[in-house]
Amino acid sequence: MLWLCLHLPHLSLEIFTRGACLDPVSRVVSDAHNRRPRVLDCNPAAAVRGVRPGMTVGTAHALAPDLVVWPRAREAERRVLQQLAGWAGQFSPMVSLAPPHELVLEVEGSCGLFGGRDRLVDAVYRGVTGLGHQVVWALAPTPLGATLLARGGREVQVIARSQLRGMLARLPLGTLNLSPPVRAALHGLGMRSLGDCLRLPRDGLVRRAGPDLLKALDRALGDAPDPREPYVPPPRFVGRLPLPAAVEETGALLFAVHRLILELSGFLAARDAGVRELRFHMMHGVRSGTEVALRLTAPSRDPGHLLGLMRVRLERVALPAPVQEIVLRANPVTLPRRDGSLFPGGAVDAVDAGDAAALVERLRARLGEPAVHGLRRVAEHRPERAWDACDVTAGDRGDTVLPVMTHARDPCGTSGLPPRPLWLLPRPAPLAVRNGRPCRDGTLSLGPERERIESGWWDGADVVRDYFVARTVRGERLWIFRAPGIPDRWFLHGIFE
């Protein structure tokens, strides 16, 4: 087996700061439960002013009077680690939490899928950094071995167990997260590295440090089993991203929105799923927020497409108050399968349909959902009642929605079915008649075929019409009708081109 560990050394700070790109304000995370709180981590702006982890918060305030101090939020760290585990499922079916700051992935079977170990590691690294985390990684034959190497800052690929002992021996004792009494006892013996521990006799190590240290070393070397519990993601995606400072302009929210969409995309990729609806909650406080919903005409998990729609959608949003946190909720749905076509036109039609669906989604985002609708077939012979306007996404509820790129039913009449125009007039328009012939910019030429429509007697709006395809002197094709037995009354009902 081959394990990839992702160590997040600055997770305690990143849960507060990764919602912004550049932050000039000095910020730190502290262990607020202590009598004299100390700095656990600081951002670059604070580091430039001399703030360092380990110093007291009072000293840090003296160096940076405008310092912003956040108490460590362990529950938020756990939640972010779980969100990251759900995202990492796209790289391995076996992802395990190693709190407080690590994930381990079993990737031996995934390396071939991603083109080798180097490409897999590169994809994971770029993905994690794109989510706003600094990460140190390591590959090793055991999960604890990979974890210790990553904690020690060794971004290495140790493939063979025979190499693992030598690599671990160079690591400092601090990588094992020993209890203070055990660490003090080992330091008192002059032991500074794991190699020092490995050189001691086993029974002597147990007498001096207890059995837990020896068990940990055996698991790290692969001499003892180290079963890991796989992380099972929730059925629904819920992503939270606090903002380091309240935001009043919607344009400034795009950076944080992008990171949430990237998390969602990875969560969906792990399930080979997409989404039809995204709901962003722009939180103004603990209980108040503005909801921004994005509904798609077809399931998708493409982060570029989703971000483009949200960029347009946010242009129409007026925030009643500054935003302090963004919450994204979405339900996965199955992506449609596209079967290959034996004929050249099939692939082109699929591309055209996808482009058209994307256009509809952009229009809905820019104009609002009520401004863009679809067409639904109705079981009715009367042309003006044979269709109805509906929500573009009505197909989810079982309605028969016409495809986005649908054309009129056989407008040329080559299939034996009566031709239909793509567009109907809102109501039939009377035509001038000269010498018994209908006219529109000159006398119309009638086609040889006639279609009789006689329907509606049951609802009091019955019609009896004879339809013809007519052509103007300029070649325009029209759909006209007359009532049987009334030769001097002609009406224009539709236009083919």
Out of 233, 248, 282, pick the residue that ends a domain: 233
Instruction: Establish how many alpha carbons lie within 13 A of residue 439's alpha carbon, considering only the half-sphere containing its beta carbon.
Output: 9
CA angle (346, 351, 353) in 5-degree steps: 95
Q: Is the predicted pLDDT of residue 407 greater than 80, yes or no?
A: no
pLDDT digits (tens, 9 = 90+) for 313-348: 998 889 999 999 999 999 999 887 665 554 454 444
In angstroms, rounded to a whole number, what is the distance separating the alpha carbons of residues 41 and 12? 7
Question: Would you place residue 403 in the very low, low, confident or very high pLDDT band (cuts 50, 70, 90)?
Answer: very low
Inter-residue contact 106 to 2 (CB < 8 Å): yes
Residues of the chain with pLDDT > 70, as a percent, come to 91
Tell me, yes or no, whether 418 lies in a domain: no
353 within domain boundaries: no
Does 186 lie in the same domain as 72? yes
Q: Which of 198, 233, 268 lies at the terminal end of a domain, its last residue?
A: 233
43 and 124, same domain (yes or no) = yes
Domain count, the chain: 3
274 shares a domain with 173: no
In a domain, 378, yes or no: no
Q: Which structural domain range is residue 156 located in? A: 1-31+39-233
339 located within any domain: no
Q: Residue 417, exposed/middle/buried by CB under 10 A (0-12, 13-18, 19+)?
A: exposed
Q: Is the pTM of this model over 0.85?
A: no
% of the chain beyond a pLDDT of 90: 62
Are residues 164 and 46 both part of a single domain? yes
Tokens for 365?
A: 């985002």
| Beta strand spans in 12-106 (E) | 27-30, 39-42, 68-71, 95-98, 102-106
Q: How far apart, in Å, do the first and last CA atoms of the chain sit?
A: 65
Q: Which of 152, 130, 177, 149 is nearest to 14 (CA)?
A: 130
In this structure, are 159 and 245 located in the same domain? no
Is 457 inside a domain boundary? yes
**Which pLDDT band, with edges at 50, 70 and 90, does 377 fall under?**
confident
| Element (DSSP H or E) covering residue 300 | strand 289-300
The letter for the amino acid at 467 is Y
223-232, 280-289, 304-313: which has the minimum mean pLDDT?
280-289
How many residues are given for the chain? 497
Is 15 within the bounds of a domain?
A: yes
Pair (321, 461) in one structural domain: no
Q: What is the pLDDT, as a whole number, of residue 100?
A: 93
| Residue 340 located in a structural domain | no
Same domain, 315 and 431: no
Decide: 209 and 184 in contact? Cβ < 8 Å.
no
Residues 10, 117 within the same domain: yes
Answer yes or no: do 80 and 141 share one domain. yes
pLDDT in tens, 436-490: 899 998 999 998 888 999 888 888 888 999 999 999 999 999 999 998 877 789 9
Residue 396 confidence (pLDDT) above 60: no
Q: Do residues 20 and 256 touch, judged by C-beta distance below 8 A?
A: yes
Question: Do 222 and 275 fall into the same domain?
Answer: no
- Alpha-carbon span 114 to 122, nearest angstrom: 10
pLDDT digits (tens, 9 = 90+) for 95-130: 999 999 999 999 999 999 999 999 999 999 999 999
Instruction: Tell me if 86 sits within 8 A of 131, measured CB to CB.
Output: no
Of 197, 218, 233, which residue sits at a domain end? 233
66, 171: one domain: yes
Residue 373, in any domain of the structure: no
Which distant-in-sequence residues (6+ apart) come within 8 Å of 316 by Cβ?
366, 368
The two tokens of residue 416 are: 């034996």
Q: Read off the CATH number of the domain in which 279 is found.
A: 3.30.1490.100
Model confidence at 310: pLDDT above 80: yes
Q: What is the pLDDT of residues 170-211, one digit of tens each?
A: 999 989 988 888 888 888 888 899 999 999 888 888 888 888
Do 226 and 281 fall into the same domain? Answer: no
